[in-house]
Amino acid sequence: MNEDAKTYPHTDAHLAKGDWNPVWDQLQAIDPGFLEAYLAFRSVPHRQGPLPAKFKELILVAINAATTHLYGPGVRRHIRNALKAGATREEILETIQLTTVMGIHACNLAIPILMEETASDGQ
């Protein structure tokens, strides 16, 4: 089948609803089939499952805001989606506050090691 003749329903759906990462434009240009497969996989929890859309969006806010990701455009997109799904400003704020707990783990891990390593130096 000619690549141009293929259809990409997940790609089209993501574009239509505005749930689109601009980086995907480049992937779509070089391998639209791979992008379609990724978007199909990524969409499974959105299509099914017991969590309401609001909670799914709050989780996605947390993932995008996490210290291991820090993806601003995703935070913005999912905050907008959470608001549309009925989340309050306070619920979004608490989600962000809970996400900050991830950052403290660096101290929880490293400070005891620092104390152990410097204890023998008498510091």
pLDDT value of residue 1: 45
pLDDT value of residue 113: 86
Q: What would the DSSP string read from start to end of the chain? A: --GGG---HHHHHHHHHT---THHHHHHHH-HHHHHHHHHHHHHHHHSSSS-HHHHHHHHHHHHHSTTT--HHHHHHHHHHHHHTT--HHHHHHHHHHHTHHHHHHHHHHHHHHHHHHHTTT-
Provide block-wise average pLDDT over 10 residues at a time, the chain (123 residues).
Answer: 73 90 94 97 90 96 92 93 95 94 82 87 64
Give domain limits for the chain.
1-49, 51-123
